[in-house]
Structure 1
């Protein structure tokens, strides 16, 4: 298999996934920050 072609295919795939991943990452970070604040208040 041509490696450059494969890299191009993977980068295109990641570019397509980025719009889907951003909200997931944002929600994950938001939950983590919320959990950290709650833990700080309770302690």
Structure 2
């Protein structure tokens, strides 16, 4: 699957394995939003 350069997908086994530090790091690097879907 192709994404725009501004989108960086991070795959995890399930949303329960999503570590909040992923989102915090994205915001620190200037992300406007973080989308988590299961």
When the two structures are superposed, what TM-score results if normalisation uses the length of structure 2?
Answer: 0.32
Rg comparison, structure with higher value: 1
Q: Return the structure number with greater relative CO, CA threshold 8 A, min gap 6.
A: 2
When the two structures are superposed, what TM-score results if normalisation uses the length of structure 1?
Answer: 0.30
